[in-house]
Amino acid sequence: MSMTDLLNAEDIKKAVGAFTAVDSFDHKKFFQMVGLKKKSPDDVKKVFHILDKDKSGFIEEDELGFILKGFSPDARDLSVKETKTLMAAGDKDGDGKIGVDEFSSLVAES
């Protein structure tokens, strides 16, 4: 399954394009722009599994830095600051990684 099976390709392009400047990434705006906020809980979980590149059941900090590439291969990497901000927002239990339920909550709060 690819991201465009779940989300509109044009929405992905616009959302990725809106955050091309370093340190401009805002996960709340991004999740809204890409259409993830409107998706069912099952679809949000499917997106999580696409972003979980090593299939560990978690999005670790190194994977989080490449989150935009999960939506569009030619997107930029997040800066260290952006990655840490996103991890702090999503890692509710403080274990240094984001699980599927934490990701779902992160999207719902957007």
One-character DSSP codes across 53-108: TT-SSEEEHHHHTTHHHHH-TTSPPPPHHHHHHHHHHH-TT-SSEEEHHHHHHHHH
Work out how many domains the chain is built from and give that number: 1
- Binding-site residues for Ca(2+), in ranges, read 52, 54, 56, 58, 63, 91, 93, 95, 97, 102
Check residue 110 and give its pLDDT: 84
| Full-model pTM | 0.95
What is the secondary structure of 76-91 as a DSSP string? PPPPHHHHHHHHHHH-
- Binding-site residues, in ranges, read 52, 54, 56, 58, 63, 91, 93, 95, 97, 102
Mean pLDDT split into 10-residue runs, the chain, 110 residues: 96 97 97 97 98 97 96 97 98 98 95
Residue 80 belongs to what domain range? 3-109
CATH code, domain with 89: 1.10.238.10
Check residue 23 and give its pLDDT: 97
